[in-house]
Amino acid sequence: MESRPEDLGLRSDGWSGCVVGTLDVERSGDRISVRGKLEASAWVECVRCLKGYALPLEVPFEVFAERAGTGYRLEEKELERDDYMKFHDGRRLDLSEQARETLLLEVPMAPHCSEECRGLCPRCGADLNQGLCGCGLQNPDLSPDN
């Protein structure tokens, strides 16, 4: 399974490339269980240096579905509140909403491009990953006005 991020209702500028699902589908009677993983690249901005970069994600994905209309209405409504239980119409199981939520949960709130990212100089705004900015803030010990 391969989908464009837009097809899953994800913002196309928040993701790079396709979302690839490697899924095992098991069907027994009216029950369908889907297990596998989703792989995608989120396009995020480093909170330290503000550089955009692709963050590869690999997330376990699991959905259990039951054919709609086999139970009482009330029962279905209650079951549907459970994140892992989805109803399908017997022909098609729509996983896009589940996939979207699973992926969005995986995107970090405060991503950084690398553990060692040195960020921007708070004084002159230079990218400190490119080297010292020269405004002096980098070496407070060497500054003359101690």
Q: Rule CB under 5 A: choose which of 49, 55, 99, 103 binds Zn ion.
A: 49
- For the CB of residue 103, give the shortest distance to Zn ion in the complex, in Å: 22
Interface of this chain with Zn ion, residues 115 to 144, rule: CB under 5 A: 117, 121, 123-124, 133, 135, 137
| CA atoms of 63 and 69, how far apart (whole Å) | 18
- Give the contacts of 4 (CB within 8 A, at least 6 positions apart): 12, 18, 19
Output 60 or 134, the one with its CB closest to Zn ion. 134
Min. distance of Cβ 53 from Zn ion in angstroms? Answer: 8
From 26-34, 42-50, 91-99, 100-108, give the range in contact with Zn ion by CB under 5 A: 42-50
At 114, list the tokens: 């690398």
Residue nearer to Zn ion on the CB measure, 107 or 133: 133
Count of chain residues binding Zn ion (CB under 5 A): 11
DSSP assignment string, 80-119: HHSTTEEEE-SS----HHHHHHHHHHHS-SS--S-TT---
Nearest to 30 by CA among 100, 113, 90: 90
State how far Cα 91 lies from the chain centre: 28
Write down the H helix ranges in 82-139.
96-106
Q: Which is nearer to Zn ion, 60 or 131 (CB)?
A: 131
Quote the CA–CA distance of 48 and 100 in Å, as a whole number. 27
User: Judged by CB under 5 A, does residue 48 bind Zn ion?
Assistant: yes
Kindly state whether residue 23 participates in binding Zn ion, applying the rule CB under 5 A. no
Binding residues for Zn ion (CB under 5 A) = 46, 48-49, 113, 117, 121, 123-124, 133, 135, 137
